[in-house]
Amino acid sequence: MSVAAPAELAEIVAPDESRGAHDPDVGLTTLPSGLRIVSQHMEHAATVSLGIWIGAGSRDELPHEHGLAHLLEHMAFKGTARRSALQIAEEIESVGGDLNAATSVEYTCYTARVLGADLALAVDILADIVTAPALTEEELKREKGVILQEISAVQDTPDDLVYDRFLQAAFPDQPIGRPILGTAKTVKGFTPDAIRAYLARNYHAGNMVLAASGAVDHDELVALARKHLSALPARPAVPLIREPGEYRGGEARIGSDEEQVHLVLGLPGLPFAQGAHYPLQIFASVLGGGLSSRLFQEVREQRGLAYAIDAFHWPFSDCGVFGIGAGTAPEDANELIEVALGCLRQAAEDVTEVEVARARAQMKVGLLASLESPGGKLEQMARQVLLFGRAIPREELAARLDAVTLADVRNAGRSLLGHQPTIAAIGPLHGLPPAKRLRQAARAAD
């Protein structure tokens, strides 16, 4: 059970529209209830990875529900109407399988991995925990304590906490910017009825995908879905009505006695719904995506200002955010920020064809490598069907990357400049520049 990253490669290279061919190697069936079932058989696989994806995550919580999506993910494993928590664990482990789950900003998933012969058992267990969690007061009290410890662990891990604070500063007072775990206050206040209300609103057939990859037969998977998921409320597959995400930019500075300053600099990104997120992702890779990237070479190799530094672009369904993350000595923080922003401005003007080709190749290898495993293919299919209603052929994904030109990448870099920057920093803060100077540095190329 975990908190999922805001955006991963399978999402980043997804198409910006639902039109186009469905992957011919993938089976896709929609039941009358609205439940979508997607699968790919892998000839040489002995195991099957499968899961149920729900198109609702932390940003779909109401204000008083902050942290509830993640709590529900935990509670699903704590017993159902037919099984105790121990029975869930024993049944899946008796066949050598395992269960997991994750909550993200825009989705929640419950997954399993078993031998192909045990597909029916795995579907039965996943369906049971998703459709009939017991939600007892006793288990809820116990699991609240576990999540409070999880929140405390993040508070004690500055290189994780800084990214939570970064999103909060970039999207202040918005669901998309709230930490997925919630707060101690909100978690303590949750009741079984509050969880059931969230379940009723979001866990319906039209907002769910059953996916499997590996040693799986699509017709068998559809039959198992009809058998075990027929109790789901029947609703059409329509996008959730969400509070729009609006990048505003801001600051989160938390002083502490850490030896390093952990910092993230940010600027507005782009959503999946616009094709421009492809060149922006390539620009992020050129800037800080590997050992040959400009940030690594200048910040690490030439100046020794940080052990590691990276640039990223997190696209969401309706907005996005671009960022640079690093840890550095307090006395080097100001120089690192100036150098990082300088690299960004320079790359926006003179990124080369060679750099774009290298970044594109890195993205393709990462994509194709992820598709070679049942687990990687599973995640890609499920999220694509949730977002776009189809599984995307890898040839189409590669073609979209190939279509990005040098001018596109430079324009994507320039689009970052002139906006209100975001900074999140944890540690000794005496070396950080004031907000006004940071804004000036981010706008210097206007």
CA distance 86 to 138: 15
User: Which residue in the list 61, 73, 106, 379 is annotated as catalytic?
Assistant: 73
With b for 16 or more beta-carbon neighbours within 10 A and e for fewer, the 396-413 pattern comes to ebbebbeebebebbbebb
Amino acid letter for position 428 = P
Known catalytic membership, residue 338: no
| Tokens found for residue 186 | 């909100």
Task: Evaluate whether 69 touches 60 at the Cβ level (below 8 Å).
Answer: yes
Task: Evaluate whether 36 touches 192 at the Cβ level (below 8 Å).
Answer: no
Helix (H, G, I), strand (E, B) or coil at 79: coil
CA distance 388 to 385: 5
CA distance 197 to 203: 10
**Residue bearing tokens 């000839």:** 43
Closest CA to 150 of 127, 112, 184: 184
CA triple 203-4-344, angle to 5 deg? 130
Task: Evaluate whether 52 touches 127 at the Cβ level (below 8 Å).
Answer: yes
Which distant-in-sequence residues (6+ apart) come within 8 Å of 65 by Cβ? Answer: 186, 194, 198
CA distance 289 to 301: 15
CA triple 297-299-300, angle to 5 deg? 70
Using CA atoms of 218, 219, 223, 228 in order, give the dihedral in degrees to the nearest 10: 0
With b for 16 or more beta-carbon neighbours within 10 A and e for fewer, the 278-312 pattern comes to bbbbbbbbbbbbeeebbbbebbbeeeebbeebbbb
Task: Evaluate whether 224 touches 120 at the Cβ level (below 8 Å).
Answer: yes
Task: Evaluate whether 329 touches 261 at the Cβ level (below 8 Å).
Answer: yes
CA distance 243 to 121: 38
**Side-chain half-sphere CA neighbours of 296 within 13 A:** 12
CA distance 7 to 351: 24
Active site residues: 73
